[in-house]
A and B are shown apart, each in its own frame.
Chain A
Amino acid sequence: MIDVKNISKTFISHSTEVKALVNVTARIAPGEVVVVLGPSGSGKSTFIRCLNYLNVADEGSIVIDGIDILDPKTDINKVRAEVGMVFQSFNLFPHKTVLENVTLAPIVVRKKAKDVAKKKGMALLEKVGIQDKANVYPDQLSGGQQQRVAIARALAMEPKIMLFDEPTSALDPEMVGEVLDVMKNLAREGMTMVVVTHEMGFAREVADRVIFMDEGAIVEVGTPEHFFVNPTHERTKLFLSQIL
């Protein structure tokens, strides 16, 4: 489903080079839930953003569902339509109602009829448990509700893959649960998911595999059992001792 080979990414800020990704290779199978862990600045966000071409990898190749997204001939919009993305800061459209947020892309990108999109949108809002807020504007919602709308908005495009970039990091602690519940349901339904998060509980419970990154490189890959119970690398052990 996702085949990442040897990608590297260097940011240049104030004439200093920051190596965000160094020779990263990963493979994610259909229906798999992969959680990316790592200390801040380890490149996990850059990694997931590269998968959606929001950051462009300097070298290597990224093949999503058979399409090489780094190929200049690829229509990236077509790929993005198949890959949903959820951001740390929600990024809902503040000038549109909750329902309009969810239906906008299906209408303008997928050219769906308005009533069809609305029906589907309402169903998705129901799925994330927020149907009664369909006609309010995002700023009237709590963080947790906003993030659930953001998930519904991504799902409205009927994506094959969902990317989550620290979806609960900007939330008040009591709202983390409601968002994670939605994500768990999604995982249970067989969605292919890549999740960058600090929620160890989620990783342990839901992930098929955990990728641990540090300093732009993948340090260790394994099942949650392997990762949390007997990690091989010193760096992983240190990380786990710091957070658990």
Chain B
Amino acid sequence: MGSPLALKRSKQGNHYFLWVGVFFFIVITVVLALYFSARQIDYTWRWYRIPKYFAYQEQVEIIAETDGEVVSISKKGKKAVVQVKGLKGTESYTVPDNALEVEEGNTIYYGDVLAAYKKWRVGILLEGLWLTLKVSIIAIFFGILIGLFTGLARISSNPALKWSAITYIEMVRGSPLLVQIFIWYFVLGTLINNILAKQGIGQISALWFGVAALAGFTGAYVAEMVRAGIQSIHRGQTEAARSLGMTYVKSMRHVILPQALRRILPPLAGQFISLIKDSSLLGIIAIRELTKATREVVTTSLQPFELWFVCALLYLVLTFSLSMLLQYLERRQLAV
């Protein structure tokens, strides 16, 4: 094993740093080419406009709802209670102490500002990112569950289980995710929500149909991985477990699945990364995840270049973190 690697090294040898240089040259060239071609079409880069879509300060004003006089301002820690005595009685407003705009004895008219302060708000991109993360995590969780049971059903000798699993897997893997999302939302969603409405129970939001579509989609792929993982474990393992008196379920749980899951961790990681990216399709059923959020900001801000790069970068942050997490798990499992 050592020698071919060594061979390669010696061939690269003195040219190694040259090719490292070539790599960085390519990267810089692409970035510059992009910049200058944007200049050609008079695109103005306005990166400073981007942060406010992550977080911004909102002006909050507390407004008097009556005419009258400020009769008392009493402090309670960092809050202040303003009592306004009007013709129809006394009203009290609780405001932050340092934001007070009135003093005791002031005459107040309806609509006057009693206190004004700034408050940090989460921007739409961060909201979108959070929703993407949330949808992905829930879909991954259910995807694993569905995949585990379908994978087990797939290798069962019971035709009802086996054929159901095959039908589900083939249907899901054979049709576009976009179409599946439409079916979940516009067909199943309409049916389910209409039935619920007739029963007088609350409605299920688009988010959950989106999650269902993603989980169902991922589950089919996970099922095939689980099947392959289980089948890759030597038959002797099952025989040893069963010969000790373990039931099918116990031998699966304690002997086969722990080994199989360890083996399928790398392809699972790839599948989950795909799922995070596929969640960008959920925008079409009005779930404001990261891509939809970006599209909305682009329409209002007219800064598509910066925003789409930021959007891509945010996905990269999510997928890269997940990839790191799973690599860590893999390494930790291999260590034992």
Residues of A within 8 A of B (CB): 52, 54, 77-78, 80-85, 87, 89, 91-95, 104-105, 108-109, 137, 150, 153-154, 157
Q: Is B245 an interface residue (CB 8 A)?
A: yes
Query: Quick one: which of A78, A94, A95, A157 contacts B244, CB cutoff 8 A?
Result: A157
A108 near B336 with CB under 8 A, answer no
Closest beta carbon of chain B to A112's beta carbon, Å? 13
Inter-subunit contact B239/A154 (CB<8 Å): no
Structural contact, A154 and B244, CB atoms closer than 8 A: yes
Counted as pairs of residues, one from A and one from B, with CB atoms less than 8 Å apart, the total is 66
Provide the B212-238 mask, 1 if CB < 8 A to any CB of A, else 0: 000000000000000000000010110
List the B side residues contacting A153 at CB < 8 Å: 240, 244
Chain B contacts of A93 at CB under 8 A?
A: 237, 240-241, 255, 259
B237 surroundings in chain A (CB, below 8 A): 91, 93
Is the pair B245, A91 in contact by a Cβ cutoff of 8 Å?
A: no
Would B236 and A91 count as touching, CB distance under 8 A?
yes
Tell yes or no: B162 within 8 A of A by CB. no
- Contacts A/B (CB < 8 Å), 19 sampled: A54-B239, A54-B242, A81-B244, A81-B245, A84-B243, A85-B239, A87-B236, A87-B240, A91-B240, A93-B240, A93-B241, A108-B246, A108-B250, A109-B244, A150-B240, A153-B244, A154-B243, A154-B244, A157-B245
Max chain A CB contacts within 10 Å: which of B234, B246, B259? B246
Q: Is the CB of A89 within 8 A of B236?
A: yes
A interface footprint on B255-292 (CB within 8 Å = 1, 0 otherwise): 10011001000000000000000000000000000000
Chain A CB within 10 Å — which of B243, B246, B258 has the most?
B243
Q: How far is the CA of A45 from the CA of B234 in the complex (A)?
A: 18
Q: How far is the CA of A239 from the CA of B271 in the complex (A)?
A: 57
B246, A77: Cβ atoms closer than 8 Å? yes
Interface residues of B: mostly helix, strand, loop or mixed?
helix
- The answer to whether A80 and B243 have CB atoms under 8 Å apart is yes
B75 within 8 A of A: no
Is the CB of B39 closer than 8 A to any CB of chain A?
A: no
Set of chain A residues within 8 Å of B254, measured between Cβ atoms: 104, 108
**Is A95 touching B262 in the complex (CB atoms < 8 A)?**
yes
A87-B239, A91-B236, A92-B240 known; A80 and B258 CB under 8 Å? Answer: no
The one of B241, B242, B243, B259 in contact with A94, judged by C-beta atoms closer than 8 angstroms, is B259
* CA–CA, A93 and B243, complex, Å: 13
Top 8 A-B pairs, shortest CB-CB distance = A81-B245, A91-B240, A105-B244, A91-B236, A85-B243, A80-B245, A109-B245, A77-B245
Query: Using Cβ atoms and an 8 Å threshold, which residues of chain A touch B250?
Result: 108-109
B296 to chain A, nearest CB (A): 48
- Further 5 A-B residue pairs, CB within 8 A, beyond A54-B242, A78-B245: A80-B242, A105-B245, A108-B250, A109-B250, A153-B240
A109 CA to B246 CA, complexed, in Å: 6
B315 to chain A, nearest CB (A): 34
CA distance A221 to B304 in the complex (A): 88
**Residues from chain B with Cβ under 8 Å of A54 in the complex:** 239, 242-243
Q: Within 8 Å of chain A (Cβ to Cβ): is B321?
A: no
- Tell me whether B98 is interfacial, beta carbon within 8 Å: no
CB-defined contacts of B239 to chain A, threshold 8 Å: 54, 85, 87, 91
Interchain CB contact (< 8 A) of A95 among B236, B241, B247, B258: B258
- Give the interface centre of B245, B247, B254 by most chain A CB atoms within 10 Å: B245
Distance between Cα atoms of A207 and B99 in the complex (Å): 96
A79's closest neighbor in chain B, by CB? Answer: B245
Q: A167 CB to closest chain B CB, in angstroms?
A: 13
Residues of chain B lying within 8 A (CB to CB) of residue A109: 244-246, 250
Closest chain A residue to B237, Cβ basis: A91
